[in-house]
Amino acid sequence: MRLIVQRVSNSSVKVDGEIVGEIKKGLMVLVGFGQNDTSKEAEYLAKKLVKLRIFQDENGRMNRSVIDIGGKLLLVPQFTLYASTKKNRPSFHKALSPDKATELFDYFTEQCRQHIGVETGEFGAYMKVDLLNDGPVTILLEKEFGED
């Protein structure tokens, strides 16, 4: 499972010109699942994500989590995070099948909602994501099947 985490001042996602998810200060997260990912990886990364200390404290150090600053998450499903680029045209054979990925995305979203407010993009839709990256701060979080 892979997350591209971006600290944002604001972010939104549109489907067919309509906003389906929008946050102010918080984290916009691209979420991708590999073929072997399970609820175990989703649970681990949900806990890691909401506790990730990448917001500044009173001394200007990245020492606060999205929970600490009263922010929210905007989770955007993104199967292309598992693109293989050995050839010029990307292959997505390493990504989890859409039906299983939809279930896992919903599960991951619910795990995050246990800790913080969450907005989402729409799985399988053509989305337009808008964001104002704060910092900029962009971090990759990864948990591969079977890793401790």
Residue of 38, 80, 109, 138 marked active site: 80
Range 48-53, long-range pairs (CB < 8 A, 24+ positions):
48/141, 48/143, 49/3, 49/5, 49/73, 49/112, 49/141, 50/112, 50/115, 50/116, 52/5, 52/27, 52/139, 52/141
Quick check: is 80 catalytic? yes
Catalytic residue positions, numbered: 80
